Amino acid sequence: MVFFISKKGRKIEIRKIQENDWVGLRNLMNSLVKENAFILRDVPISKEEQIKNLKKRIEDMKKKKRVDLVAIYNGKLVANIYIRRKKFKEKHVGTLGVFVKKNYRNEGIGKALIKEALKHSKKIGIKLVVLEVFKVNKPAMILYKKLGFKKYGELPKALKHKGRYMNNVLMYKRLG
């Protein structure tokens, strides 16, 4: 568990996911779905689905197949990050996803989460972290670049967002 003070002066706790986080995680995901943020999901997640999903994630975390952290402010779950390890000949590769609640962006929470998750994933033997980002999501891309991610590809019309096809940018970062 670590604490840090965000740019807006909020004291944020970063810790591993726990079984009772399903409420907070579901609120976070469904708030992003409602906002139609730059995430893949476009239908809300049900309670049952979320509970099952979280259980699996905790099991995978124990098996060192993933890193999964949340950011908590005043008891409220405001962000989540995961790095999921691939299988077989890609066992050294982890796929990253990060989600920050609307009114908690641009204050360094995503950055702190990514840094922490990279540290954890290095410890479990991940050597290469990859991610995909909506090409129109400039703030995210700037952040990833700042943290050392490099673009390695771009897929045209990879996503349908708000009725339009848009590109996805693929980025990677090598760990130690």
Residues contributing to the site for other proteins (CB under 8 A) = 40-43, 87-93, 127-128, 130, 152-161, 170, 172, 174
Least Cβ distance, residue 89 to other proteins (angstroms): 5
Least Cβ distance, residue 59 to other proteins (angstroms): 17
Select 3 or 152, whichever has its Cβ closest to other proteins: 152
Q: What are the distances in angstroms from CA 26 to CA 31, 80, 113, 114?
A: 8, 11, 19, 20
Select 147 or 159, whichever has its Cβ closest to other proteins: 159
Least Cβ distance, residue 86 to other proteins (angstroms): 8
State how far the Cα of 33 lies from the Cα of 27, in Å rounded to an integer: 10
Helix then strand then coil, in percent of the chain rounded to 5, is: 35, 40, 25
State how far the Cα of 103 lies from the Cα of 3, in Å rounded to an integer: 19
Select 23 or 40, whichever has its Cβ closest to other proteins: 40
Judge whether 64 and 53 are in contact, CB under 8 Å: no
Select 16 or 127, whichever has its Cβ closest to other proteins: 127
Least Cβ distance, residue 134 to other proteins (angstroms): 9
Judge whether 154 and 167 are in contact, CB under 8 Å: yes
